[in-house]
Amino acid sequence: MIMSQIVFILLVITVAFLSKKFYGRVIRNIKLGKKYDLNLDKSKAWKNVFLIALGQKKMFKLTIPAIFHLFIYVAFVITQIELIEIFVDGLTGNHRTFAPVLGGFYTFVISFIEILSILAFVSTIIFLYRRNALKVPRLVMSELNGWPKLDANLILIGELLLIVGIFMMNGADMVLQSRGVEHYHVTGQFAVSSWLGPALFGGLLDNNLVILERAGWWLHILVVFGFVLYLPFSKHLHILFAFPNVYFSSQKPRGEMDNMPAIMNEVKSMMGMPVEVAEVSEELPDFGANDVMGLKWKNILDAYSCTECGRCTAQCPANMTGKALSPRHIMMSIRDRANEIGENLDKGTQDRETYKDGKSLFDYISREEIHACTTCNACVEACPVLINPLEPILEMRRYEILSESTGPQDWLPMFNAIENGGAVWQMNVDREHWMTDES
């Protein structure tokens, strides 16, 4: 038992050390983005967290998947109670530390967890079937080929292993309790294991049951440790980041763009309107973004909060009509680019302030994609955790048009007309001509 405690403590220390390193990299990558004034109403922000992140409100726009997701989500949250006990047992060398303290309530809690685990098991099987056999269109798009598809399946398989570990542990425990084996004190009859344990393991010897119970215990905790270390490399980082992402989401009306003072003053000057006095800088202002450093840090947090569910792309009218745009691909590309920059910074060959590797977001996101966007906000409305794919699209458009002086050929006459005549149409008279009495 002492050896088991030592191994467990060493594992905890190792996981804590690696977690700090892995999650620290992700936080550093998010901070590559620009700082900006949030202007949040905190009461509204917390309301969003409870309704949308915790309450899964927007998930239920697709009812059936939402119900199965809810089973997994609630099982994940409530199972943390048993996980806390596993940690305490691992550190102290005890067995079911909370059982004598909680009595009958302990039996109820573990029974409830077992029922949720059965529902989560069924839901996980269904999700594996939907992804790999049923092939729901939004889950089999080309952008999910390779690692994204494997990542989704690995998480689902890990979920199954967690549940198997629970029932191995509890099932063997039930049989050992019924035989009065020392160290396995009576906890009461659990809802599932009280009949599943004897049915599966009732014919095993006591020594084999002890090994099976310990194997279930270690399987569960090792999968948890693996899950913690795996999250920073997985789309399932949304389990943690969905909450801050929802909290920091913009509270402006959808479709309202951030003004660029330099451009706004130019337009006002052209139209004879009063110009706001701004600080004069010798450096040219940044127009839009061509890399993650030009985006807001919240845009990068959006990318790391994306679970790649594809609801945004499924609702995108441009994608529906065969255009190249996929809002999900936009967010995946921002995350991939942030990871690439982070890896180069870790090598010590680049500095954040002067970073240049000859690449940009345009190497990940095609110009055809950003041109196809109609700025309808369907993707923003569809996202269950308030991710905004539209903002980076608009920033990349701004960079292309204002910094590179380029863009789609059919857009250029409109820009020239606005610049020369103050209207989107080519006219041979002044814009204000209709206001005069001249015929």
Residue 284 pLDDT level (bands cut at 50, 70, 90):
low
**The two structure tokens encoding residue 83:** 């996980």
Contacts of 272 (CB under 8 A, 6+ apart): none
Given a cut of 60, whether residue 282 has pLDDT beyond it is no
pLDDT in tens, 300-310: 999 999 999 99
Give me the helix-helix angle, 2-30 and 297-305, nearest 10°.
140
Q: Which of 57-61, 74-78, 228-232, 284-288 has the weakest average pLDDT?
A: 284-288
State the Rg of the chain over Cα.
Answer: 28
Given a cut of 70, whether residue 271 has pLDDT beyond it is no
Contacts of 374 (CB under 8 A, 6+ apart): 317, 318
* Residue 103 DSSP one-character state: T
**The two structure tokens encoding residue 416:** 């020239």
Backbone angles phi, psi at 296, to 5 degrees: -70, 150
pLDDT in tens, 13-50: 999 999 999 999 999 999 999 998 888 999 999 999 99
For 68, 156, 218, 360, the CA distances from 118, given in Å and listed in that order, are 12, 14, 20, 46
Given a cut of 80, whether residue 295 has pLDDT beyond it is yes
The answer to whether 35 and 297 are in contact (CB under 8 A) is yes
Q: Which CATH architecture has domain 261-408?
A: Orthogonal Bundle (1.10)
pLDDT in tens, 411-428: 878 877 877 777 777 777
pLDDT at 277: 63
pLDDT in tens, 112-158: 999 999 999 999 999 999 999 998 999 999 999 999 999 999 999 99
Sign of CA dihedral 387, 390, 396, 399: negative
In this prediction, residues 62-91 reach a mean pLDDT of 91
The answer to whether 165 and 220 are in contact (CB under 8 A) is yes
pLDDT at 323: 94
Residue 278 pLDDT level (bands cut at 50, 70, 90):
low
pLDDT in tens, 185-194: 889 899 999 9
Given a cut of 70, whether residue 437 has pLDDT beyond it is no
Burial of 284 (0-12, 13-18, 19+ CB in 10 A): exposed
Which single residue is written with the structure tokens 């055809």?
368
pTM of the model: 0.89
In this prediction, residues 377-403 reach a mean pLDDT of 94
pLDDT in tens, 220-263: 999 999 999 999 999 999 999 999 999 999 998 887 888 877 77
pLDDT at 275: 77
The answer to whether 120 and 95 are in contact (CB under 8 A) is no
